[in-house]
C-alpha cells in the first residue's frame, strides 16, 4: 500500500481553535493574556491584586485552568472580576478548545481584559496557543534561577517574566542578575520584572506593562 504524505503540525487542530478564539476576542475587543508558571508561583494572588488595582480602569475577566476544583475562580470572583473555571481532569495544560467551551460563561462584550490562568506547569502549556495576544510567565524566587535554563521552551515563548516573591530573596540563593542574563540568552526580546505580590513591591511596573500593551493594541482604539 502507498504511503500517504500528510505533513501536518500535530497541533493543527489546536491552532485552528486558537485562531477562532482570537477572532472572537478581537470581535468583542477583549485583550487576552495567557499567564503560565509552576504550581505555587503566585498566579492567582497576582491576578487578585491586579483586579483590585486595575478594576477601575479595565473590566477584567479571568479563566482559571486547574486539574480540579473551583477554588481559584471563587477567589477572583470575590475581587469583583467575572470568572470561569476549567477543570482539565488530569490534563496538564489548557487547550484552545477548552477555553472556547467556557467562553459562553463570560460576557465578552462587558470585558476589556481577560487573563487566562494556565495549569501550573512549565512544560506543556507553552506548546498550546489558546488565542491569547500576550504570554507571560510567573517565576518565583524559591524555585531557583536555574528554572529559566531548565525549561527553555517556556521562556522562549514568553514575552514577560514576572519574578515573584522577591521579599524572600535574602533566604534563597537566587541570583537575579543571572536570571536576567539567562533569559536574554534564550529570548532576547523578553523582559523580566522583579516584584513581590504579597508585599506589593514593584507591582506598578507590571501594571504599566499592561497599560502599554493595552494602549498599543489596535482594537482598544476603535
Partner 1 sequence: MSHEVALMGDMLNIVAEDMQKHGLSKVEKLKLRVGTLSHSVPDALEMAFEIHKAMKAPILTEDSALEIEVEEARAQCVICGHEYVPDHRVALCPNCGVPGGKLIAGDAIRIVSYEGV
Binding-site ranges for partner 1 (CB under 8 A):
1-14, 90-93, 95, 123-124, 126-127, 149-150, 152-153, 156, 182, 184-188
Alpha-carbon span 27 to 12, nearest angstrom: 23
Q: What is the H or E stretch that residue 50 is in?
A: helix 43-54
Residue 5 or 215 having the CB closest to partner 1: 5
Rounded CA-CA distance 174/178 in Å is 9
Nearer to partner 1, 29 or 127 (CB): 127
Separation of alpha carbons 95 and 86, rounded Å: 10
Rounded alpha-carbon distances, angstroms, from residue 15 to 21, 145, 208: 10, 31, 30
Please state the closest distance from residue 43 (CB atom) to partner 1, in A: 19
Query: Which CB, 3 or 173, lies closer to partner 1?
Result: 3
Answer yes or no: are the C-beta atoms of 42 and 16 closer than 8 Å. Answer: no
Write down the residue that cell numbers 512544560 correspond to. Answer: 123
Of 158 and 196, which has the nearer Cβ to partner 1? 158
Amino acid at each position: 500500500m502507498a504511503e500517504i504524505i500528510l505533513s501536518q503540525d500535530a497541533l493543527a487542530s489546536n491552532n485552528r481553535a486558537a485562531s477562532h478564539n482570537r477572532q472572537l476576542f478581537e470581535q468583542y475587543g477583549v485583550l487576552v493574556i495567557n499567564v503560565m508558571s509552576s504550581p505555587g508561583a503566585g498566579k492567582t494572588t497576582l491576578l487578585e491584586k491586579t483586579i483590585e488595582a486595575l478594576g477601575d480602569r479595565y473590566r477584567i475577566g479571568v479563566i482559571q485552568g486547574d486539574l480540579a476544583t473551583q477554588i481559584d475562580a471563587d477567589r477572583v470572583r470575590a475581587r469583583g472580576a467575572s470568572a470561569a473555571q476549567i477543570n482539565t481532569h488530569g490534563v496538564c495544560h489548557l487547550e484552545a478548545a477548552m477555553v472556547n467551551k467556557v467562553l459562553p460563561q463570560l460576557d465578552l462584550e462587558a470585558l476589556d481584559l481577560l487573563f487566562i490562568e494556565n495549569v501550573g506547569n512549565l512544560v506543556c502549556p507553552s506548546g498550546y496557543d489558546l488565542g491569547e495576544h500576550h504570554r507571560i510567565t510567573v517565576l518565583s524566587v524559591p524555585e531557583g534561577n536555574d528554572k529559566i535554563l531548565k525549561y527553555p521552551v517556556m521562556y522562549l515563548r514568553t514575552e514577560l517574566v514576572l519574578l515573584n516573591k522577591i521579599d524572600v530573596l535574602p533566604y534563597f540563593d537566587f541570583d537575579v542578575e543571572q536570571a536576567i542574563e539567562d533569559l536574554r540568552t534564550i529570548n532576547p526580546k523578553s523582559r523580566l520584572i522583579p516584584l513581590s505580590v504579597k508585599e506589593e513591591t514593584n507591582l506598578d511596573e507590571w501594571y504599566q506593562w499592561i497599560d502599554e500593551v493595552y494602549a498599543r493594541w489596535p482594537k482598544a482604539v476603535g
